Chain A
């Protein structure tokens, strides 16, 4: 997929946690409808990178534009922007005091001011989409990890976001549940959603990614199409990393 306007653009972005330099001079852009997969060793800044996109963290210098809006701490547009950017977390972060259905409707009802009927209709549509329509009335604690993560995906979809961010969505799952979540993500990719995914699931990456990104120590080391990325990466560090995680 080439062409298209960038919907996310990092321009010389730097981020510090105190003295720790978490993101170093990041410049990269994501086009509308593009699926980008980011990988790299832990502590390489990949989570920080995607958490900057919806302002869960704020960068310290450079320009970050998402959906035509500049993201910076104190921006008045940040709440509106977050409605356009869904996020799925490693630890699911479902609301334990609400049922599955309420988890899905609370955002649309309280943030988008949708009516209960509309919100529930949308919620049931997306529960169907993630293949767990029968769990609507249960509390999250009654669901398996894989089901919880699919609810979390549906929760983001209910906001009718245009961009979906995934922060290691399968890392906290038992092995037998990883595929049910990845399947949902592949189906989502097929709908043309713009996705930025931090993951080490290289099978998934090969299947859906338009662009592969390798990060190390806060820098983007390699950006390539999957074919080239997996067969002939330019940097030695990326090659070494891929060898390590693909060995098994």
Chain B
């Protein structure tokens, strides 16, 4: 929008300015300064606390766990191997959770009493068991009965736990599509399945993408819990390195940072997809 030319002088009385204090508090500079001060205090607190304990910082020993270059050439370190394991575990579990979540959501929305009851029953069962207990159930109880290993138990636990959360995302997304879309699809002779596939689900994706991003990030983070049954993912690797080196401060900071980098990249990637999807509508 083109505003009035520079020569234009407003004739009306200027509006009263907000108080000086609120102008300062609302400014971007103030927020940045405040943020920097708070982060600075936390880092300083941790550092000086560690100094007071006489902690021996050995950051120089950390890079070797990312990669090493020896006579044999370049090699990825343990942390990177753990990261790969974390990512494959999360991806597999997420794929499983998505399929299961969609099934639960469709059962719930089917309008058939039995299917709705089954899906609500499953939902409440899983939602009301702590993730850690669920993991123990799968690994120590169901694992021996059905004979699956710790990695499978982890995938099942994470998949089942997140499927109920994802099913709610699907349900909300599907319900967000206007009722008229169903009627239009129905009126041109589409079956319920066709209406879902060609009309309803494609439209609900844009409602589902933002909460799904959160779910992916949540999945990567909650995958850390499988370290209690010693699946060799990032957190387990962290514990192993610490038990070898006693560098608990450095390694936990590093592991936290690796998780953060991964989840930030994921969030950023999905936000680009979201924007593209929004444009194509």
Contacts and interface: CB of A to CB of B under 8 A. Distances in A.
A79 B180 CA distance: 18
A82 B188 contact: yes
A91 B185 CA distance: 14
Contacts of B202: 97
Interface in B201-235: 202-203
B181 interface: yes
Nearest to A104: B188
B131 interface: no
A124 interface: no
Given A89-B184, A95-B181, A156-B188, A110 B281 contact: no
B194 A110 contact: yes
Contacts of B184: 87, 89, 93-95, 152, 155
B243 interface: no
Contacts of B191: 79
A194 interface: no
A93 B180 contact: yes
B183 A110 contact: no
Given A97-B281, A106-B198, A139-B281, A111 B180 contact: no
A97 B203 CA distance: 6
A51 B184 CA distance: 12
A54 interface: yes
Given A96-B281, A97-B281, A110-B194, A56 B186 contact: yes
Contact residue range for chain B? 10 to 19
Contacts of A89: 180, 183-184, 187
B203 A86 contact: no
Contacts of A85: 187
Contacts of B186: 55-56, 82
A52 B193 CA distance: 22
A83 interface: yes
A56 B183 contact: yes
A17 B281 CA distance: 36
A96 B203 CA distance: 8
B188 A155 contact: yes
A89 B185 CA distance: 12
Contacts of A141: 281
Highest count of chain A CB atoms <10 Å: which of B185, B189, B198, B202:
B189
B100 interface: no
A60 interface: no
A91 B281 CA distance: 18
B187 A87 contact: yes
A24 B181 CA distance: 29
Interface string A26-67: 000000000000000000000000000011100000000000
A111 B281 contact: no
Contacts of B199: 95, 106
The secondary structure that dominates the B interface is helix
A85 B183 CA distance: 13
A107 B190 contact: yes
B154 to A, nearest CB: 37
A96 B277 CA distance: 13
A22 interface: no
Interface in B152-207: 178, 180-181, 183-191, 194, 198-199, 202-203
Given A106-B198, A110-B198, A141-B281, A93 B189 contact: no
Nearest to B203: A97
A100 interface: no
A159 interface: yes
Contacts of B188: 82-83, 86, 106-107, 111, 155-156, 159
B12 to A, nearest CB: 34
Contact of B189 (A56, A80, A94, A95): A80
Nearest to A94: B184
A27 B74 CA distance: 85
Nearest to A103: B184
A91 B179 CA distance: 11
Interface in A98-130: 106-107, 110-112
B124 to A, nearest CB: 28
Nearest to A155: B188
Nearest to A91: B180
Contacts of A83: 188-189
16 contacts: A56-B183, A87-B183, A89-B187, A93-B178, A93-B184, A94-B184, A95-B184, A95-B199, A96-B203, A96-B281, A106-B188, A110-B190, A139-B281, A141-B281, A155-B184, A155-B188
The 10 closest A-B pairs by CB, nearest first: A93-B184, A107-B188, A83-B189, A93-B180, A87-B187, A82-B189, A111-B189, A97-B202, A97-B203, A91-B180
